Amino acid sequence: MWWNSLNSFQQIMFVMAVTASAVMVIFIVLMLIGMDGSDFDGIDASDMDVDIINDEPFSSIGGLRLLTVRGILAFISIGGWAAFLFANFMSSLWASLIGIVFGAIAAYLLALAFRAAYRLESTGNLDYSNAIGKKGTVYIRIPKAKSGKGKVTLTMQERFIEVDAITEENQDLMPKTEIEVVAVVDTTTLIVKSK
Residue 42 has pLDDT above 70, yes or no: no
Q: Which CATH class is domain 128-194?
A: mainly beta
pLDDT of amino acid 124? 66
Domain spans of the chain, in order of start: 3-119, 128-194
Which is more confidently placed, 99 or 38?
99
Element (H, E) at 185: strand 178-186
Q: According to the 3-state scheme, what is the secondary structure of 6-57?
A: CCHHHHHHHHHHHHHHHHHHHHHHHHHCCCCCCCCCCCCHHHCCECCCCCCE
Q: What's residue 86's pLDDT?
A: 93
pLDDT at 5: 83
Model's pTM, two decimal places?
0.53
Using one digit for the tens of pLDDT, what is the confidence trace for 55-89? 444 445 555 666 778 888 999 999 999 999 999 88
Average pLDDT on 99-119 reads: 87
7 has pLDDT over 50 = yes
The 10s digit of each residue's pLDDT in 132-172 is 999 999 999 999 999 999 999 999 888 899 999 999 999 99
Of 35-39, 115-119, 159-163, 191-195, the range with the lowest mean pLDDT is 35-39
pLDDT of residue 188: 82
Amino acid in the structure at residue 43: I
- Closest Cα partner for 67 from 20, 104, 15, 101? 104
Give Cβ neighbours of residue 93 (< 8 Å, ≥ 6 apart): none
The pLDDT value given to residue 110: 86
